[in-house]
Amino acid sequence: MICTPASTHGLSPLRTVQVLGHGSAGSAAHVRSLAEGLVARGVRATVCATPELEEIYDFTGAGARFVHVPPRTDPASVALLRSACWDADLVHAHGLRAGLRASTALRGLRSPRGGRRVPLVMTWHTKTHTEGARAGLVRLMERRVVRAAAVVLGACSDLVDRARERGARDARLAPVAIPRPRAAGPPSGTEDDDR
């Protein structure tokens, strides 16, 4: 018997929220690919990002719901993110700042199914390089986010080690596979067979 997250016994489909910050090309393409795969498996996916990222990566074209949430930590932006997450079964933040915003928005939020805390997964795509007083602030932010996350996925082993050093309960290596962009035409230097 093959089970899917879609409604097969009167249950509503699983709901996930993908949270992006400013969205580097790699993390935004990764979220587009995840959204497409989740929707294909019957999961309701919501992507929280800027309108510019929606325009470039077309999350709605992948079947996801799009919610404009500014990548800031002010109370209004956090309230928008919390509203987008209110019925989520899982929230997946991409990047440290997105993780900080998501962990703040999820504080005290309970899943409508079972009343448990909504789990946060954080994919750590790149390491922040800072020095001086700012480095201390980044360390505190890292510690807060990895401790709030149920699982931290690191794009490389250095990030997994760093997450464990900061107190992650569960840190795993998960190299990010980014799909090749769809070509608009034949690669340069080749002939088009349709001529």
Domain ranges of the chain: 15-127
Q: Which two tokens stand for residue 124?
A: 């750590």
* pTM, 2 dp: 0.82
**Residue 150: pLDDT band with limits 50, 70, 90:** very high
Lowest mean pLDDT among 3-12, 141-150, 185-194: 185-194
More confident residue, 134 or 167: 167
Q: Where are the alpha helices (DSSP H) in 41-185?
A: 51-57, 75-85, 96-106, 133-148, 157-165
Q: Do 145 and 172 contact (CB within 8 A), yes or no? A: no
Per-residue confidence (pLDDT) for residue 178, from 0 to 100: 62
Q: Do 13 and 6 contact (CB within 8 A), yes or no? A: yes
Give the chain's mean pLDDT: 84
Q: 105, exposed or middle or buried, with CB in 10 Å at 0-12, 13-18, 19+? A: buried
Into which CATH architecture does domain 15-127 fall?
A: 3-Layer(aba) Sandwich (3.40)
Tell me: pLDDT of 3 over 90. no
Q: What is the pLDDT of residues 38-85, one digit of tens each?
A: 999 999 999 999 999 999 999 999 999 999 999 888 999 999 999 999
